[in-house]
Amino acid sequence: MSVLSAPTTPASAASTAPVDLGPASALSCRECGQRYPLGPIFACAECFGPLEIAYDLPTGDPEGLRSRIEAGPASIWRYAELLPVPADVATKPNLNPGWTPLVRADRLAAELGVTGGLWVKDDSGNPTHSFKDRVVANALEAARAFGFTTLSCSSTGNLAGAVGAAAARAGLRSCVFIPHDLEQGKVVMAAVYGGDLVGIEGSYDDVNRFCSELIGDPAGEGWGFVNVNLRPYYAEGSKTLAFEICEQLGWRIPDQLVIPIASGSQLTKIDKGLRELISLGLVEDRPYRIFGAQAEGCSPVSRAFKDGHEVIRPVKPDTIAKSLAIGNPADGPYVLDIARRTGGAVEDVTDGQVVDAIKLLARTEGIFAETAGGVTVGVTRKLIESGVLDPTLSTVVLNTGDGLKTLDAVAPTTGPTAVIRPDLDAFREAGLA
Ligand SMILES: Cc1ncc(COP(=O)(O)O)c(C=O)c1O
Ligand SMILES: [Zn+2]
């Protein structure tokens, strides 16, 4: 396969010198395999397919690699040899996300009737309280390598906060774009780090379209949009969820994983991460099933899965799960492929079921999830009830964000059990003794 010169956009003019991004050797088109030098580009000039990172991975000595990983830092950088980052990444100013708990969820399992072992990968404890710190940390290294001075993104909320914080830590400017009507927790988190925050009057899909225009305009020159022109690097960060889950299970792939879908990038890269672990000999090659989770009010991938379609029909989102509210998901077709290839499924739940699931997870495991976590737990319950997810198999459910950012979802139905005078008679009258 020939290596074409990278197609340039105004924003890609930041640097064309060779870069050190560790084992990343080139960009490769997911559709036609055409290769390009590493650069701030994301679409194939031949067929417009998405570009992915091609690697020179450390093959041949899985035991040595495993030992180096296990001796590494308690962050995603323990996997630096498998990511598009320089070897000394952990010494650079960044938020050091990852290595979050894999919680054995026996009480939730009992409620759901799971007997094969149930775990929650709880990513709410990342530095800005969502899994987005993983992807942004990878994009930040690409931004540094290409000489960008402004970090940007189109966001459903969590990404904006993660970009603002990462830029602050790295000493870069940030300017992030969100739909104007997000939850207060997301807006405040996105603004507090001191960068520019722009609310767009429209949906996420409008925000994303606007950012694509900005990249092609001189106004966006020198800007690294983590999920647009840096998307190939950004997306690789989600592989670390697969790596951590397997390592935390004793270097074993679980039988079933339940993953939320917005653009579908995270789900697609978790599958890529699992396949890399197999090909490197770090885990046994055994079958696994991937399940995608959406909210009914924004379920274009679930709809296509159920209808047996290969294309996604875009929708106008209307759900409390705003972090997952992408009506035209870029990686939707790949999610369909993965769910079908692995014998999984894509399912959706109503907003009411999302709220019930948030409370169920909180009550049984002491984990307060944001609405995206309510979506995965709710979908897990629904798939068990419909006999699609096998309760006798080991299952990992992702919680990708913190409930404190989406208080509005549960506040109307959650509050004090009683409000009483400060005396014992009042307490007894309340029936709580
Ligand atoms: C909390 C949370 N979980 C999951 C996702 C899904 O991400 P993706 O776009 O990779 O599907 C998002 C996206 O914004 C999110 O904020
Ligand atoms: Zn191509």
User: Is the pLDDT confidence value at 14 over 50?
Assistant: no
Alpha carbon separation from 200 to 227, 229, 254, 315, 427 (Å, rounded):
17, 20, 40, 19, 49
Calpha distance 314→73 (Å, rounded): 41
**Sign of the alpha-carbon torsion through 182, 139, 128, 124:** positive
Residue 104 β-bridge partners: 119
Which of 427, 410, 428, 414 lies closest to 185 in space, CA to CA?
A: 410
Strand 102-104: give its sheet, edge to edge: 102-104, 118-122, 395-399, 256-260, 289-295, 345-349
In tens, the pLDDT along 351-397 reads 999 999 999 999 999 999 999 999 999 999 999 999 999 999 999 99
Average per-residue pLDDT for the chain:
95
| CA of 372 relative to ligand 1 center, distance in Å | 8
Residue 248: partners with Cβ closer than 8 Å, 6 or more residues away: 102
Q: Helix (H, G, I), strand (E, B), or coil: what is residue 122?
A: strand
**Share in percent of the chain as helix, strand, coil (round to 5):** 40, 15, 40
400, 405, 406: residue to mutate for ligand 1 pocket, most atoms within 8 A of CB: 400
Query: 205 and 314 in contact (C-beta within 8 Å)?
Result: yes
Closest ligand relative to 1 C-alpha: 2
Residues with CB under 5 A from ligand 2 (ion): 29, 31-32, 34, 44, 46-47, 49
User: Is the pLDDT confidence value at 1 over 80?
Assistant: no
User: Is the pLDDT confidence value at 7 over 60?
Assistant: no
- Residue 16 — very low, low, confident or very high, per pLDDT cuts 50/70/90? low
Closest ligand relative to 48 C-alpha: 2
| CA of 339 relative to ligand 1 center, distance in Å | 17
Q: How far apart are the first and last CA of the chain?
A: 74
Residue 186: partners with Cβ closer than 8 Å, 6 or more residues away: 157, 158, 160, 161, 178, 322, 323, 405, 406
Closest ligand relative to 323 C-alpha: 1
* Token pair for 93: 């100013």
Q: Which atom of ligand 1 is nearest to the CA of 260?
A: 4
Q: Which atom of ligand 1 is nearest to the CA of 227?
A: 9
Residue where the block lists tokens 């906060």:
161
124, 129, 257, 266: residue to mutate for ligand 1 pocket, most atoms within 8 A of CB: 266
121, 131, 377: residue to mutate for ligand 1 pocket, most atoms within 8 A of CB: 131
In tens, the pLDDT along 81-113 reads 999 999 999 999 999 999 999 999 999 999 999
Averaged pLDDT for residues 192-218:
95
- pTM for this model (two decimals): 0.95
Residue where the block lists tokens 């000039």:
45
Averaged pLDDT for residues 291-296:
99
Phi, psi angles (nearest 5°) of residue 295: -90, 145
Q: Which atom of ligand 1 is nearest to the CA of 261?
A: 11
Which of 162, 22, 134, 121 lies closest to 76 in space, CA to CA?
A: 134
| CA of 8 relative to ligand 2 center, distance in Å | 16
Residue where the block lists tokens 């807006």:
187
- Residue 433 — very low, low, confident or very high, per pLDDT cuts 50/70/90? confident
Neighbour-count burial for 206-223, b at 16+ CB within 10 Å, e otherwise? ebbeebbebbeeeebbeb
In tens, the pLDDT along 212-260 reads 999 989 999 999 999 999 999 999 999 999 999 999 999 999 999 999 9
The ligand 1 site (C-beta within 6 Å) comprises 130-132, 156, 158-159, 260-266, 323-324, 370, 372, 400-401
| CA of 75 relative to ligand 1 center, distance in Å | 20
Closest ligand relative to 136 C-alpha: 1
Residue where the block lists tokens 């339940």:
258
